[in-house]
């Protein structure tokens, strides 16, 4: 009887070794997809493996990925911010107006970041203070922030930026490593430490898994959520500085549709849309996957509308995969 009981307890309910669990993880699978896309692009276009072309490819995702890092924490906590692209538009419009008034580069950077923080604080107050649904709040502020940009600019554009302002979106730190790429790597490390190696990160996971239990365990849920919206607004402000610098101009339609791409990047990276699970490493790999796909399609002269269709399908598929897999698992256990 004792031997039988011991045998039953020895039956594992998950993969037996740490190595096998890592190899079966979403991040490793996604990394394999990234490698396959890289190889395919290398064979599909003779221009792909050029170091400067690869450097240019990073501009397809670095600005969006900066926002995706903060968005990942927000989604893990069970919330979402669909106003990030509109925050970029408002921050860029404010920087443009300041540039026309003669304010220099340090002031423009400070203004862009300050506007992002203010928008994030506004969203955070509505969600954490009034406990309104974040999806409803940020759909509203998405229209509000971009609407202000359209009122200010109409069909006009701001373009008189200082010459040294171009460094943030066009400058290189060393060889083919742009300022944006170095900033992307730095932020990836910072957010990875914040999420995976601090009490704040653990609080984010607990809130996403069970907000009710988190409140009873003493976690300041509202304060954590407010900080997460602040971080998301901050990253949208930083992205606004980089994007405006790279384009050298501001229009109210700037970053149109980026909210979809940022959310796709987060979900593709393995962050559960229901909250409570995800890693920064997955978001980093997802950013490279989307950047490689976009750059590869561009080299093949694929129209932009096809890329938009691809992003939409990618979002649907990555949300559906874990749900379908869970249902199959439940069906197999039921048998």
DSSP state, residue 60: G
**Lowest-pLDDT choice from 102-111, 202-211, 293-302, 324-333:** 324-333
Provide the pLDDT for residue 6: 41
**Rounded average pLDDT over 32-53:** 90
State pLDDT tens for residues 148-164: 999 999 989 999 999 99
Whether residue 87 contacts residue 66, with contact meaning beta carbons closer than 8 Å, is answered with: no
pLDDT confidence of residue 106? 97
The token pair at 250 is 């501001």
DSSP string over 220-248: -HHHHHHHHHHHHHHHHHHHHHHHHHHHS
Question: Is the four-CA dihedral 185, 40, 323, 11 of positive or negative sign?
Answer: negative
333 pLDDT more than 90: no
Its CATH architecture, for the domain 58-320, is Orthogonal Bundle (1.10)
Task: Say what the pLDDT of residue 5 is.
Answer: 43
How much of the chain, in percent, has pLDDT values that exceed 70?
Answer: 92
Is residue 70 within 8 A of residue 191, CB to CB? The reply is yes
Say whether pLDDT at 308 is over 90.
no
Cα dihedral across residues 120, 121, 122, 128: positive or negative: positive
pLDDT of 335 higher than 60: no
Measured distance CA(206)–CA(8) in Å, rounded: 31
Residue 311 confidence (pLDDT): 77
Structure tokens at 100: 């026309």
Quote the CA–CA distance of 100 and 162 in Å, as a whole number. Answer: 10
Question: Do 31 and 282 form a contact (C-beta atoms < 8 A)?
Answer: no
Domain ranges in the chain are: 58-320
**Residue 310's pLDDT band (cuts 50, 70, 90):** confident
Q: DSSP labels for 312-326?
A: HHHHHHHHHHHHHHH
Q: Which 3 state secondary structure label does DSSP give 132?
A: coil
**Interatomic CA distance for residues 259 and 223, integer angstroms:** 24
pLDDT band at 20 (very low <50, low <70, confident <90, very high): low
Better pLDDT: 74 or 298: 74
Helix or strand (DSSP H, E) at 172? strand 172-174
Least confident of 44-58, 61-75, 169-183, 215-229: 44-58
Alpha-carbon span 238 to 120, nearest angstrom = 12
**Which tens digit of pLDDT belongs to each residue from 72-129?**
999 999 999 999 999 999 999 999 999 999 999 999 999 999 999 999 999 999 999 9
- Three-state SS for 178? strand
Q: In 3-state terms, what secondary structure has residue 250?
A: strand
> What's the mean pLDDT when you consider all of the chain?
90
For residues 115, 109, 73, 258, the Cα torsion angle rounded to the nearest 10 degrees is 80
| Interval 184-210 mean pLDDT | 97
Residue 320's pLDDT is: 80
pLDDT, tens digit, for every residue of 217-272?
999 999 999 999 999 999 999 999 999 999 999 999 999 999 999 999 999 999 99
Quick check: 1 pLDDT over 70?
A: no
Higher-pLDDT residue of 286, 4: 286
Kindly tell me if the per-residue pLDDT of 38 is higher than 50: yes
pLDDT value for 15: 45
Per-residue pLDDT at 44: 87
Q: What is the mean pLDDT of residues 23-35?
A: 84
What is the predicted pLDDT for the residue at 2?
A: 43
Give the pLDDT of residue 21.
Answer: 60
């Amino acid at each position: 009887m004792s031997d039988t009981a011991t045998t039953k307890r020895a039956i594992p309910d998950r993969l037996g070794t740490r190595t096998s669990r890592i190899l079966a993880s979403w991040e490793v699978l996604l990394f394999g997809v990234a490698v396959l896309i890289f190889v395919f692009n290398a064979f599909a276009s003779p221009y792909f493996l050029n170091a400067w072309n690869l450097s240019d490819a990073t501009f397809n995702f670095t600005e969006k990925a900066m926002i995706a890092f903060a968005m990942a924490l927000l989604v893990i906590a069970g919330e979402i911010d669909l106003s990030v692209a509109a925050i970029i538009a408002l921050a860029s419009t404010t920087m443009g107006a300041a540039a026309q008034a003669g304010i220099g580069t340090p002031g423009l950077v400070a203004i862009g970041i300050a506007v992002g923080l203010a928008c994030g604080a506004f969203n955070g107050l509505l969600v954490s203070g009034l406990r309104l649904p974040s999806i409803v709040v940020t759909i509203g502020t998405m229209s509000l922030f971009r609407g202000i940009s359209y009122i200010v600019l109409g069909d006009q554009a701001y373009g008189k930026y200082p010459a040294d302002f171009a460094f943030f979106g066009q400058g290189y730190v060393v060889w083919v490593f742009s300022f944006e790429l170095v900033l992307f790597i730095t932020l990836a490390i910072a957010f990875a430490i914040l999420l995976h190696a601090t009490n704040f990160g653990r609080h984010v996971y607990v809130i996403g898994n069970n907000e009710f239990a988190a409140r009873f365990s003493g976690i300041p849920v509202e304060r954590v959520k407010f900080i997460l919206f602040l971080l998301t607004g901050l990253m949208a402000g930083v992205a606004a500085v980089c994007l405006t610098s790279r384009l050298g101009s501001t229009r109210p339609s700037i970053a149109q549709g980026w909210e979809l791409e940022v959310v796709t990047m987060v979900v593709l990276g393995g962050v559960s849309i229901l909250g409570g699970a995800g890693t920064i490493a997955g978001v980093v790999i997802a950013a490279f996957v989307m950047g490689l796909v976009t750059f590869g399609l561009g080299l093949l002269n694929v129209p932009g509308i096809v890329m938009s269709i691809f992003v939409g399908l990618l979002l649907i598929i990555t949300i559906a995969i874990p749900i379908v897999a869970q249902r199959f698992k439940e069906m197999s256990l039921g048998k």
